[in-house]
Chain A
Amino acid sequence: MTWPLFTEWFLPGVWITVQVTLGSAALALLVSFVIGIARSSRLWIVRFVAGCYFEVFRGTSALVFMLWMAFAFPLMFGWVFVPMAAGILALGLTYGAYGSEIVRGSLQSVPAAQREAGIALSFTRTQRLRRIELPQAWPEMVPPFNNLLIELLKGTALVSVISVADMTFAANLSRLASNESAPAYTLLLVSYFVLAFVMTRGMRLVERRAKAGIGQRPEPRRGLRAARKPLPKGESAQAGPQSAGGVG
């Protein structure tokens, strides 16, 4: 990669990658909570609608959805997205479906006894959710959310396909310009790995604070990912691999 390419495309591309990651992570987080909580609702219609969202977006290929937003959507509805917006929407909406499974699973893992204690103290449903169930479920959510965040970071490479100038886009430019692709792609892979590492460190801090908030210590683990428990049973067995699985 030539020096001008590096400074004018690659470095700004790193910033774009970070922006897309944070933007879609924020959207995915919002979707995760809204859909995850709605899927635990006691009203069947709310559960049904949220369930439909989950099934549809879990089956959606992020790349296909992104291209559809960028090319088919404008032709169909006469509305053009800024490429970066199309990318963030596609990533946020699809990864949010995975996140909703994390939220739902963690809420379910709060012991029933806690709900009963809340009832015995006459809390309303909303109060129980906000003051008892969510605060206790949150530390459980952080490690799988970390996995999902890294999947999302990897997913951001897809935006290069719809011409968002992220760091993958810059590496592709370099290949086209210089015909020498090894250094550019190697640098690119390492950059993603470093970003993933930094994000994991950040999420560990979040996890430590979340656990400290309920008087627990975080468990030590190796690697960038949250250690997976030896195959949890039933529904939750799905959450592990799913949350880690690529969606793109």
Chain B
Amino acid sequence: MSNDTPNPAPEDKPQTPEGKPQTPEAAPGVPEALAHVNPKVDGSELIRFDRVTKRFGDHVVLDDLEFTVASGKHVTLIGPSGSGKTTILRLLMTLLKPDEGTISVGGRYLTHEERNGKLVPAGEKHIREVRKNIGMVFQQFNLFPNMRVLRNITEAPVHVLGLSKEEAEERARELLELVGLTEHVDKYPSQLSGGQQQRVAIARALAMRPQVLLLDEVTSALDPELVAGVLDVLRDIAHTTDITMLCVTHEMNFARDISDDVLMFNEGRVIESGSPEKMFNDPDHPRTREFLSAVL
């Protein structure tokens, strides 16, 4: 939605001085709160969609979809609305169940279990166990209105991960510092602006120390002047950690900044993928070109 020059030179890409670090050790600027996020960045496969089909009634949203995401990668999903991007995130978060096919995370099936050599739908417990590695930030923030900011962040670490209250609060305060909201710890979500709420939601998701962070159009519900603050926080996280990110966004400049890979969706399939340089400057598929010329 930005009206920047459509074809900036690739050299412009790193917008933070240190660029994107390859390993956490190489990043001098890693914030304290995120120092833990150090999954094996060996490029091994972390997420796999295997012939996944999802329908809503007669409408096929995802059609026999296959793709993988390597650990530590930042992947942006682009495509026209209704092309199934958000559905992918919701499937990964188990908010939806696939009609056909399997999804695995870290080598484990997400919604299925192997029992006696057969693949059966998984029980609650299995799903929860695998799901713990995944965090999500929603378009509408979805903070808990009945909890103050601090408790929004500590609730799950305490009651799901079993952290002590002190530990969780310390973690929460560090994360609030990272997202620049330390002075708002004792406020209710309703007392914050949309941008602030979204930054709290990011902190809340990170407090679970997920391997994968799903970002579902996180700036679409924000007033335009609040977008930059949220994107800066996310850029920071993207550039200083190796948390795997799956991102659905309409902010193409942001996508260009943070992505390792861009996947173009159309009618429930990936029609093209590649590095942001390639995808934004010289896409192969005519549909990608058409889409990008419309949004850039």
Q: Identify B94's interface contact among A117, A119, A213, A216, CB under 8 A.
A: A119
Pick the interface stretch among A95-103, A121-129, A158-166, A167-175.
A121-129
- Bound CA–CA A113/B216 (angstroms): 13
- Bound CA–CA A121/B213 (angstroms): 12
Q: Which residue of A lies closest to B140 (CB)?
A: A113
A127 touches B93 (CB 8 A): no
Pick the interface stretch among B2-10, B153-161, B281-289.
B153-161
Q: Identify A215's interface contact among B131, B191, B208, CB under 8 A.
A: B191
B124 touches A125 (CB 8 A): yes
B121 shortest CB reach to chain A, Å: 15
A127 touches B144 (CB 8 A): no
Q: Which residue of B lies closest to A130 (CB)?
A: B159
- Bound CA–CA A84/B82 (angstroms): 63
Q: Which residues of B contact A122 (CB under 8 A)?
A: 128, 131-132, 156, 160, 208
B194 within 8 A of A: no
Q: A215-B188, A215-B190 are in contact. Are A123 and B146 (CB under 8 A)?
A: no
A120 within 8 A of B: yes
A to B contact number (C-beta, < 8 Å) = 67
A123 touches B135 (CB 8 A): no
- Contact residue range for chain B? 20 to 34
Q: Mark B132-144, 1 if CB is under 8 A from A, else 0.
A: 1011101010111
Q: Which residues of A contact B94 (CB under 8 A)?
A: 119
- Bound CA–CA A124/B132 (angstroms): 11
A116 touches B124 (CB 8 A): no
- Bound CA–CA A127/B191 (angstroms): 25
B188 touches A131 (CB 8 A): no
Q: Which residues of B contact A131 (CB under 8 A)?
A: 155, 159
A97 shortest CB reach to chain B, Å: 27
Q: Which residue of B lies closest to A127 (CB)?
A: B159
Q: Which residues of B contact A216 (CB under 8 A)?
A: 145, 190
Q: A131-B155, A216-B190 are in contact. Are A116 and B160 (CB under 8 A)?
A: no
B95 within 8 A of A: yes
B144 touches A132 (CB 8 A): yes
B139 shortest CB reach to chain A, Å: 9
Q: A121-B208, A213-B146, A214-B188 are in contact. Are A116 and B156 (CB under 8 A)?
A: no
B124 touches A120 (CB 8 A): no
Residues of A10-65 contacting chain B, CB below 8 A:
none
Besides A116-B138, A122-B156, A214-B145, 13 more A-B contacts (Cβ < 8 Å) are A113-B140, A114-B142, A117-B142, A119-B131, A120-B93, A120-B134, A121-B155, A121-B160, A122-B132, A127-B160, A132-B144, A135-B147, A215-B145
Q: List 26 A-B contacts (CB under 8 A).
A: A113-B138, A116-B138, A116-B142, A117-B142, A117-B143, A119-B131, A120-B95, A120-B135, A121-B155, A122-B128, A122-B131, A122-B132, A122-B208, A123-B159, A124-B128, A127-B159, A131-B155, A131-B159, A132-B146, A135-B146, A135-B147, A136-B144, A213-B146, A215-B187, A215-B191, A216-B145
